[in-house]
Amino acid sequence: MSLLAILLILFLGGAAAWASSLLHPRLPRWIALLSVVGAMLPLVTALGDPAVSDGGWLIEYNLNWIPSLGIRFSLALDGLSALLVALTGFLGIVAISAAWNGIDERVGFFYFNLLWTLAGVVGVFTAVDLFLFFFFWEVMLIPMYFIIAIWGHENRRYAATKFFLFTQLSGMLLLISILGLVYSYSLQSGSLSFAYDDLLSVEMSAGVEWWLMLGFFVAFATKLPSVPLHSWLPDAHSQAPTAGSVLLAGVLLKTGAYGLLRFTLPLFPEASAAFAPVALTLAVVSILYCAKVALAQTDIKRLIAYTSVSHMGFVLLGIYAWNLIGMQGAVMTMLAHGLSAAALFSLAGGLQERLHTRELDKMGGLWRSAPNMAVVALFFSVAALGMPGLGNFVGEFLSLLGAFSVSIVATALAALGMILSAVYSLWVMQRVFQGEEISQSDEEGATPLSDLDARELVIYGLMMAGLVVMGMFPTVFLDYSSAAIERVVSISGSLSDGFGGR
């Protein structure tokens, strides 16, 4: 019941926020904030449940929806999805904070879209009926399209359309694969069902399994994203308003990784195992190639976007390492990157708000005028480059450790990515905050540079605290996800060819 409450609060809160803009333009943001906080309350009680680490589904909600097609409205939460829902809620608040003063037109509609995106993401993380999953998968797209297309920057239309087309086209492949899987199930059992647990038991011929797995993989790898399906991301991230970038980088990318962990691997174990070398290669290429491309960017948001792809490569690496350590590393990277990327994007957004440019060439020496911002930026840059003691290090280290037992070459190459990430992180810090201060006076309409205000400091403080806790006490988080991950890993143990033996 409480899962339904989370979704309903977000959906209805969105509608209420839109309606309230008729009363007062400042009302929607408060309603949005209250909705997200209210929606997270049921989750907090769920996380406090001692049954969390036992594995299994924590809260379930199950309702007949479209019986003639075997579709149920069933939601469930386990440790993995609980962590990601919590991340979604937290970054929802961050996004609202980023939009607090930045969005000043069509405010009601903006918060409507924001909350509906969040609701879609929560739905994706909790749906255990594949039709329902696909339904939410699509639901989270449209409001995001609006956020980019209406409140985005100069090239928003191109970016929004590209984002939509990429995700939609890959979504269609996902749909076909889901239908193929359900059809295989119906051949086997004589009835239709979209339920996750039912579909886990489907026996398929190797060829069918391979193609269906590929459909799932392409959809999730587009979202993740992995090279060569990543090209929508730099455009979408750089053109989206700050709150949109925060949600995209922080939460939406994680739905791809979640899909791989929850669906692709358990549903198609043999095909996925056969595909793992390809996926590992893609992961390594993503890490190195996008880190290299990031170095060549002059637009700060594009740069962060490429680093996102690079870091998500570690997630892909950890997942397809297919052992407990690697997958836990992937989960940890998802959480830590969610926080650090969201923080970096809102910092970049803050810079753009203040300087009216995203060009690195027009920035410099900001340490003097905005010391707090510089310190915060340094913290998150260092976090992103994988400084031990912070969450990102734990995640990437575990991913590499997991991958090491599978492929030493891939691990060695991927580890080079960590060097590159140190290079670009420090390079950005140097370009933006050190060196000659670029005079702002010749910029038309540029306001005198203001440092972070109290609201921003509180939000960044919370995110820093989160990363430190993740770095220092990773087991707090890993305990939640371990049961769910172990279930995925155990499937590989039953494989005949012994995946680890390569």
Ramachandran region, residue 55 (left: φ > 0; alpha: ψ -120 to 50; beta: rest): left
Residue 145 binds to another protein (criterion: CB under 8 A): yes
Residue 369 binds to another protein (criterion: CB under 8 A): no
Residue 63 binds to another protein (criterion: CB under 8 A): no
Instruction: Say if CB 478 and CB 393 are below 8 A apart.
Output: no
Residue 415: C-alpha distances to residues 31, 198, 233, 408 (Å): 44, 39, 23, 10
Choose which of 12, 69, 206, 409 interacts with another protein (CB under 8 A): 69
Instruction: Say if CB 238 and CB 301 are below 8 A apart.
Output: yes
User: Distance from CA of residue 185 to its chain's centroid?
Assistant: 31
Q: Which stretch binds another protein (CB under 8 A): 39-47, 77-85, 95-103, 157-165?
A: 157-165
Q: 249-284: string of b/e by CB count within 10 Å (b at 16+)?
A: bbbbbbbbbbbbbbbbbbbbbbbbbbbbeebbbbbb
Choose which of 30, 100, 135, 427 interacts with another protein (CB under 8 A): 135
Residue 214 binds to another protein (criterion: CB under 8 A): no
Q: Which stretch binds another protein (CB under 8 A): 74-82, 137-145, 252-260, 382-390?
A: 137-145
Residue 15 binds to another protein (criterion: CB under 8 A): no
Give the number of other Cβ atoms within 10 Å of residue 450's Cβ: 12
Residues in the interface with another protein (CB under 8 A) total 31
Residue 139 binds to another protein (criterion: CB under 8 A): yes
Draw the binding track, 19-58, toward another protein (x: CB under 8 A; -: no contact).
Answer: ----------------------------------------
Backbone torsions φ then ψ of 299, nearest 5 degrees: -95, 125
Residue 12 binds to another protein (criterion: CB under 8 A): no
CB of 225 to another protein, least distance (A): 17
Residue 217 binds to another protein (criterion: CB under 8 A): no
Please, which of residues 71-110 interact with another protein by CB under 8 A?
106
Among 174, 87, 198, 81, residue whose Cα is nearest residue 485 = 81
Closer of 161 and 405 to another protein (Cβ): 161
Residue 11: C-alpha distances to residues 108, 120, 124, 148, 313 (Å): 14, 9, 14, 20, 32
Where does this chain bind another protein (CB under 8 A)?
A: 65-69, 106, 131, 134-135, 138-139, 142, 145-146, 149-150, 157, 160-161, 164-165, 168-169, 172-173, 175-176, 179-180, 182-183
